[in-house]
Chain A
Amino acid sequence: MLVVYLMTEMEERSGPPITLIDPIDMSKLDPTFRDEIKSMPNGEALSACFACSTCTAACPIANMWKYKPHQLIRMILLGMKEEVLSSNEIWLCLTCYECQERCPQKVRVTDIFFDCKNLAAEEGKIPPNVVALAKELLTKGQLYTVTADWEREDMGLEPEVPGLSVEAVKTILKDTRTRKIVGGDE
């Protein structure tokens, strides 16, 4: 007897078709987004992406991401600026470069995510803990400050870090985006 395997569309439809991703709202697409990324130092090869998903296979944590690395690259090409710049994923990037290193099309995936984070930060879309790091750098000129100088002395080192001068770093960051992110009079 001939068995006919029913495809999903044969089933009675009671709602919109099942899709793997949310439908794309065409009216929200920004066609200039891909050019914006492409004009940044690491974006040159962006259009070479043929969506093979090697980057996603290489990513140690893509299984925890809503948007996978290859999808984010595709979203940039499609102009989904808002979704990309508002995504948690760009901030969860480990910056381990496993994706970029394996891309057969030489798309600088990790570097492009760095560019995306900069664009997101410019729009104020930045996780609070990252803002805290920005504040640390702006006010102290470094991420870590010596508190247990006896540990250094125990190792025969000078208690103060030789040559350390935090003023220049603070001055530089006062004129760049760090100041804007931190805000206030810091």
Chain B
Amino acid sequence: MVTYNLYIGCSVPVNYPNYESAMIKVAQAYDMELIYMEGVACCGSPNLRAFDHTGWMTVNARTLAIADKTGYDIVTPCNGCFGSLKDVHHVLMHDDEEREKINKILKKENLEFTGVAKPRHFVEVLYHDIGIDEIKKKITKPLDGVGIAIHYGCHLLRPGDVTEFKPEYLQELVKVTGATVIDYPLWKQCCGATVLPVNEDIAIRLARDKVKSMKESGAVFATVVCPACGNQLDLQQLGLKESYGEVYNLPVLVYPQILGLALGMDEEEVGLGMNRVPADPILEHLSD
């Protein structure tokens, strides 16, 4: 059994308890031990980075330093948390001056950033630490080749020199469940979440373009690995009838829901009932 620090963030536990629960169940199925981190809160998201760089660095360096004490890597299901932690980890590993400055602040709490514990996204841990072959061994109800469009989320993929995440990781993880990965033109494009507080119209337009591109390319389902992206593609989809006069009915599942179903979990266990666009049609695509 491998142990990880679980950094759950603030959005997943509040808006997506089904994501949290499905992730924990999938982790258990593969003998991963996820321990909720003690004494941590929000990463501040790109919003905090925008107006208070030092505050953002300190908050995230503190989370990293708490994990450093345990020696276990950090796992998070949220691209926002992943991006923040990964960015700060990258800066502190490469900038001695900044590291000294931040460690001076952390010293008040008897903490020190050492960089031992690496921040990682849950799907990257599945891909690298468990591996596709081991994942495959436990799949009992593979999907029937149904087309799934992947929305990676910006802060999972970019900046590539910092996140070190390759699209192939998630493609392989979707394929191993028996589903087919659907290529679509706007696969790299942003969901619009970050701009939501500043300009809602642009945010909705981006979400709409994304869902439209997926649907027109033949996707039957979409998958996301971030609560903010999930909110944009799933919840916002319901409002498109009013704003654009368009209805897409494209269910959006977080990746652990898809893998969980392929592992034989039922719809309640992976919390399908909490998805905004009804996601239960995916049950029809599971083998008996």
Contacts and interface: CB of A to CB of B under 8 A. Distances in A.
Interface of A: 41, 60-61, 64, 91-98, 100-101, 108, 110-111, 114-115, 117-118, 121, 126-127, 129-130, 132-134, 137, 141-147, 151-152, 154-157, 161-166, 168-169, 172-173, 175-178, 181
A178 B154 contact: no
Contact of B202 (A64, A127, A142): A64
B3 to A, nearest CB: 15
Contacts of B157: 97
B190 interface: yes
Given A163-B38, A163-B39, A126 B206 contact: no
Contacts of B192: 94
Could you say which interface size class chain B belongs to? 35 or more
Contact of A137 (B48, B62, B158): B48
The 5 closest A-B pairs by CB, nearest first: A97-B158, A142-B42, A176-B55, A96-B190, A155-B21
A176 B206 contact: no
B243 interface: no
B206 A41 contact: no
Contact of A92 (B8, B37, B154, B198): B198
B37 to A, nearest CB: 5
Given A94-B194, A114-B53, A144-B42, 6 more contacts: A41-B91, A98-B190, A101-B158, A110-B159, A145-B14, A155-B20
A61 B17 contact: no
Nearest to A100: B159
Contact of A94 (B8, B105, B190): B190
Contact of A173 (B13, B46, B59): B59
Given A92-B198, A96-B154, A101-B159, A172 B59 contact: yes
